[in-house]
Structure 1
Amino acid sequence: MVPAIDILAQNSTRWSDFLWRISARTIHHPAFHAIRGKLPRLKNLEVFSCPSNGDIDQEAQSATGLDIFAECPSLSSVQFSPDLTGGIQFPSAQIRSLGLRVSYTTKALRILSGFPNIASLELFRVGGGKACQNHFISDLKRLSIKATDQNDVSSILNHTTLQSLSVLQISGVTEASAVGWEKWDSVPIKDFLLRSSCRVTTLHLCYLPITSEQTISLLPSLRELHVKERKVNNSCNKIVTGYLLESLQISFCHFAGDLRALIPRLTDLLLAVYPDDLNTDALMRVVTSRWLPDADDAAEAGIDCLRSIVIILRGEKLEAGENCKLSPLLDFRDAGLRVNIESSSS
């Protein structure tokens, strides 16, 4: 392994992306220390330590004070685990995109306070632990949360204020891991949005037990809505219901001066659903009512014209002709609407 490390380190000046998945103690090899100050092109860094003997405390101690990445003039994106590699020194003031993996809330918030200029934050299984007293305030614009349960979502939203946030992505880690997550608590996200007074224009929801009513009550300023349903037998946990689709429709009363259209700025819609659960007639009415390419008509209705729609039919791979109920959507392509109908086995 030593010769390989030497050869690797000799080419450090050409690195633009570096993914490290080895024990922190290995990084103490002299060949790695030789690259300090020789990473002029490095832009993206991912540091995920792998304890050789399962001793997390010893691994974290080995990482403390490591400074080989302290001088990287082009580095703007970093991902790491605070519990294992939080002691590594980074040029934190220049980091614009930060990802934290597998940590308690208190430690994660303490790490965040050291990165004052991030615009994008990704959290993977971050939450829980002892009662948190810290509060993170930032001008970041994008927040992505991948959670194993409600606590991972609530503990972060309860302790952050993000007044410039425009993109919010919340997801279960995987569809299988989210099976035990049966109920969505809407209070933390509503309190977060009220406290932050942000204008979220893009919302992605994936593998969550959120209801259609909870979804549509969130954000009137949305421009982009992505919903990926999970497979559940409990109809109470469906998101793309007839209620949601009917609520997204623009009725004729909007042309008579009633401008209270739900999500009036919506331009891009993606729905990943199981075919048996989709009300295709209601979906057609959503698209038809929101397809107003004439600027005067859109202004009179008080909405923005729909620009793109993607429907992903989940489950077994569909045979030709099985999506015939959605084929009328394809006619909108000739008029200028971007329409994509896909099937997915996952």
Structure 2
Amino acid sequence: MAHQLGQDLDIFKHANGLCFLSLTVLSDIPTTVWKEMTSLIVSNTGNVVNHPSPSGINELVLRECSDPRYFNLSSRVPPRSCTNISTLKLELHENKSSINALVDAVFSSFTFPSLSCLVVMTDDHCPYHEAWPKATLGSFLHRSSCVLTKFEVKRISVTDIDLIAALSLVPSLVNLFVDDTPCGDDPISPITPQFVRSLHGLLRTELNPSSSALVPKLSELQLRFNGLEFDDSGFINMVSSRWLPDTQYAAGAGLSCLSIVTLRFNARTANQVVYRPLDCLDKAGMMVVVLGTDD
């Protein structure tokens, strides 16, 4: 089957400008096909940790497979370094027959020193109950020593404590997107009052007792909240604390100016009277979008 796939892909060997490829199975692919390839999507990822990484690929999307025939992941020892990968997107799917979850296998098997964008997510309608990979993610980031600037966590059950711990490892972060849309029967949302307060530019909290602000370079924040009880005043205070248009003052505070904020409520309205203080920031130059179910 692998050989046949390679033969089938031979038809692309003279396809100049081919830069994107989506495969069901990662197999032996002709070198000529990789020539100009920059983006690769693999759905059945059973052998991905042991497959050679093409040198031109800078975006890697791995989709966890629900078919147990392809779900036989094991970690690679020692981890393999891929210096070309700058974007990694993991689309997770629960499978009780798996040896290792995709996220753990990938974080344990690779080192991506050039990684700048990391996305961890599940499908809209796919229940997922696996534990957040706190240890393997921490080891992966430490080992890679990458300058991560964009981090997206979508529809993953993770506690506020674990998400804050992950953010503390990436002070280079510029863009953060968290979507707590339920992904199982008993979802855990990281978007709690404690999480919101931990992002405050000046105040320190129990979950972020460090003398430095969490993600000090943050300039774009996107939150998609699925619950009903939200710390509106805490959010407004946090956003206001990071509006630092005076570059000298910002440098002295060790912070970048938060310039784009998007808050989307999936299950409640957005009280425009409550959020009126952010209108002033919007008029001053910050792009602020707060939307509810009636918007």
TM-score under structure 1 length normalisation: 0.71
1:202 is the counterpart of 2:154: no
User: Which runs of structure 2 are paired with 1:23-38 in the superposition (5 Å)?
Assistant: none
1:227 is aligned to 178
Contact residue 59 and residue 86 of structure 2 kept, 8 A = yes
The offset of 1:132, in angstroms, is: 4.3
1:148 is aligned to 93
TM-score under structure 2 length normalisation: 0.83
User: Which runs of structure 2 are paired with 1:151-162 in the superposition (5 Å)?
Assistant: 151-162=101-112
Change (3 A) 1:315 1:76: same
User: Which runs of structure 2 are paired with 1:81-92 in the superposition (5 Å)?
Assistant: 81-82=24-25, 86=27, 89=30, 91-92=33-34
1:334 is the counterpart of 2:283: yes
2:189 is aligned to 238
Cα distance in 1, alignment partners of residues 157 and 227 from structure 2: 19
- The answer to which of 95-104 and 303-312 deviates more is 95-104
1:265 to 217, 221, 224: 217
Cα distance in 1, alignment partners of residues 4 and 242 from structure 2: 57
Cα distance in 2, alignment partners of residues 234 and 110 from structure 1: 35
2:97 is aligned to none
User: Which runs of structure 2 are paired with 1:282-297 in the superposition (5 Å)?
Assistant: 282-297=234-249
Contact residue 77 and residue 97 of structure 1 kept, 8 A = yes
The offset of 1:63, in angstroms, is: 3.1
The offset of 1:326, in angstroms, is: 2.8
Aligned residue for 1:158, secondary structure, equals helix
How many residue pairs end up in the alignment? Answer: 272
The offset of 1:201, in angstroms, is: 1.2
1:99 to 20, 41, 50: 41
2:20 to 74, 77, 97: 77
Cα distance in 2, alignment partners of residues 281 and 309 from structure 1: 15
Change (3 A) 1:102 1:330: farther
Return 5+ residue gaps in structure 2 as ranges.
95-99, 205-209
Change (3 A) 1:335 1:282: same
Aligned residue for 2:215, secondary structure, equals coil
Cα distance in 2, alignment partners of residues 246 and 234 from structure 1: 24
Contact residue 309 and residue 339 of structure 1 kept, 8 A = yes
Cα distance in 2, alignment partners of residues 109 and 339 from structure 1: 41
**Residue identity (%):** 22
1:171 is the counterpart of 2:114: no
CA RMSD of aligned residues (A): 2.6
Contact residue 112 and residue 144 of structure 2 kept, 8 A = yes
2:82 is aligned to 138
Contact residue 128 and residue 151 of structure 1 kept, 8 A = no
Residue identity opposite 2:172 in structure 1: S
The offset of 1:137, in angstroms, is: 1.6
1:216 is the counterpart of 2:164: yes
The offset of 1:88, in angstroms, is: 5.4
Residue identity opposite 2:23 in structure 1: F
Residue identity opposite 2:11 in structure 1: I
1:277 to 212, 218, 229: 229
The offset of 1:128, in angstroms, is: 4.3
Residue identity opposite 1:78 in structure 2: L
Change (3 A) 1:91 1:64: closer
The offset of 1:315, in angstroms, is: 3.0
Residue identity opposite 1:206 in structure 2: K
The offset of 1:119, in angstroms, is: 1.2
Contact residue 259 and residue 302 of structure 1 kept, 8 A = no
Cα distance in 2, alignment partners of residues 289 and 214 from structure 1: 23
Cα distance in 2, alignment partners of residues 159 and 330 from structure 1: 46
Cα distance in 2, alignment partners of residues 314 and 130 from structure 1: 35
Cα distance in 1, alignment partners of residues 109 and 212 from structure 2: 32
1:44 is aligned to none
The offset of 1:153, in angstroms, is: 0.7
Structure with the bigger RCO (C-alpha within 8 Å, sep 6+) is 2
Return 5+ residue gaps in structure 1 as ranges.
1-56
The offset of 1:252, in angstroms, is: 6.4
Residue identity opposite 1:68 in structure 2: I
Contact residue 73 and residue 105 of structure 2 kept, 8 A = no
> Whose helix proportion is higher, 1 or 2?
1
